[in-house]
Chains A and B, each alone.
Chain A
Amino acid sequence: MIEAVGVGKLYASGDGSEAFRALVGVNLAIRDGEFVSLIGPSGCGKTTLLKIVDGLLPYEEGELRVMGRPVTGPGPERAVVFQNFALLPWLTVLDNVQFGLQLRGVERDQREEVARRNVATVGLQGFELAYPRQLSGGMQQRVGLARALAVDPQILLMDEPFGSLDAQTRNLLQADLLRVWDASRKTVLFVTHAMDEAVFLSDRVVLMATGPGRVSEVIDIDLPRPRTDATRTSPRFVELTSYVWDRLRGMILGVAETTDA
């Protein structure tokens, strides 16, 4: 579904010298219906990579294909959920959810129906006419999710979507996300900085390193689905989360990897 070969990103300076390298040699192959997380310390380029996959940022090296076609810009098969929600404050919940459809010229009746359906899917039934400022952070992000789902993308790109929410809301939304995903089995690329979140949600976790940003390791998450609260306390979950944290800590502190897994 998503294929990256040797993808690199370079920020050039005015006269060509001293360029800043954000990403180098990213090789990634994400299958249809997979849930993959990108995790790494600050500056590893995980958000940059996500934006490149969506076509919001150009890439200078390598090849990137989505559904077989090279990426040159945003497209209808991909939709993004943003960390700070990016809701239009002057529109109601329903109008916000319809936004993507409206841009594509879908007719009013049809897009309203789709919007209502997605509002219900994310559990915000009854709040269609509310404004973003009247909603909590968690509710606002549900709107963001509904908006992305409304355009029926094949690929869902999520940029630290639960980063600005409190722990309780985060857990609830993680469960809701899996529920929604389970029903449609879209391909998901999920950027996060929380190890437990990455392990809980994903089929695979891509560990990224910094200086310059690159893929360090890809970890298979062999936890059974559906994942529940019980999963969070299972030994395998703890093992995997510890492993990820161990690798991350190693990168952050610049120390050689420890021998314990």
Chain B
Amino acid sequence: MAVRALRQHSPQRERWLKPTLRLGILALFLGVWQLLGNDEIRLAMPTFTRTMAALGDLLSAGFGDGSLLEGMLITNQALVGGYLAALVVSLPLGILMGSSRAVAKVASPYLTILLAVPMIALVPIVQLVFGLTLAGRIVVVFLFAFIYMTINTMIGVREASPELKEMARSFGATRGQMLRRVILPGAIPAIMAGVRLGLGRAIIGMIIAELSLIGAGIGSLILEFQVRFQPAYVFAIVMLAVLEGVLLMEIARRIEVRFARWKGVQGVE
């Protein structure tokens, strides 16, 4: 009875195998999409070609007034504002909570509860306080992101290796030295994981804010095309937003890997 090992590929073959398969699947997917799409009926799934045409049309307006690109720019303001605010709050808070067992004990139950809150349900409250403004959308983005960054930072600080701490103590490290030279460097992989996950959450928050607290960003554009029953345009806008999300996350992942080269990727989702 011959044993069949997993088929081995020669390195030559490997090199073009992967891209071919990936492009192949993409082509398959697009082909199916094109076939299932229906440009005749108004409220059906648009075909791939129709969507691309719509995208081209939207992009051709450049950064002009009311254009898609301008809308993306405005939308991303909320992302930048909310995400940076979350960073500024979460990292010190997470470090504090991770360093002090007393603080952690008091704060943990609240964190668990906050984790369980569906942030989208808080949007009406934000709307009541801030109206349909950029500030409101920034707050929404902040709310989506800050819990994850805080928790991951806290875990990173708390899980500092007891062996390394004992070693540092034996060499006479002060509390400040311990934090700066042992705990924080050791916590960086977890903190960067939190930064990456927080970005993902912030992007989701940005989109939800756009769809709920409609301002001058892509949310209003989507609404405009929804009302006009033009799914191809809605889809084009959505695809661009998703693409941006994927690109940003890939950048974040690469940055995280660079910072955590000595440990590897992790994180609490």
Interface 9-mer from A99-107, A122-130, A209-217, A232-240: A99-107
The answer, among B163, B169, B171, B181, for a CB contact under 8 Å with A84, is B163
Q: Chain A residues near B262 (CB, 8 Å)? A: 89-90, 131, 133
Q: Please, how many angstroms separate the alpha-carbon atoms of A93 and B163 in the complex?
A: 18
Closest Cβ of chain B: how far from A153's Cβ, in Å?
A: 10
The answer, among B170, B177, B186, B188, for a CB contact under 8 Å with A74, is B170
Q: Please, how many angstroms separate the alpha-carbon atoms of A102 and B171 in the complex?
A: 10
Q: Which of A87-139 contact B (CB under 8 A)?
A: 88-90, 99-100, 102-104, 131, 133
| 28 A-B pairs whose Cβ atoms sit less than 8 Å apart in the complex | A56-B169, A74-B169, A74-B170, A76-B172, A78-B170, A79-B170, A79-B171, A80-B167, A80-B170, A82-B166, A86-B164, A88-B164, A88-B181, A88-B182, A88-B186, A90-B185, A90-B188, A90-B262, A99-B181, A100-B171, A100-B172, A103-B168, A103-B177, A103-B181, A104-B172, A131-B262, A133-B262, A151-B171
- In the bound complex, do residue A88 and residue B185 qualify as a contact, i.e. CB atoms below 8 Å apart? yes
Q: Which of B105-164 contact A (CB under 8 A)?
A: 163-164
Top 3 nearest A-B pairs by Cβ distance?
Answer: A86-B167, A100-B171, A80-B170
- Does B252 make an interface contact (CB < 8 A)? no
Main secondary structure of the interface of B (DSSP, over half): helix
- Does A54 make an interface contact (CB < 8 A)? yes
Most buried by A among B169, B170, B186: B170
- Does A250 make an interface contact (CB < 8 A)? no
- In the bound complex, do residue B172 and residue A82 qualify as a contact, i.e. CB atoms below 8 Å apart? no
- Does B241 make an interface contact (CB < 8 A)? no
Closest Cβ of chain B: how far from A91's Cβ, in Å?
A: 8
Q: Chain A residues near B172 (CB, 8 Å)? A: 74-76, 100, 103-104
Main secondary structure of the interface of A (DSSP, over half): loop
Q: How large is the interface on B (under 10, 10 to 19, 20 to 34, 35 or more residues)?
A: 10 to 19
Contact with A along B165-204 (1 / 0, CB 8 A): 0111111110001000110011010000000000000000
Q: Chain A residues near B167 (CB, 8 Å)? A: 80, 82, 86
- Does B101 make an interface contact (CB < 8 A)? no
Closest Cβ of chain A: how far from B161's Cβ, in Å?
A: 8
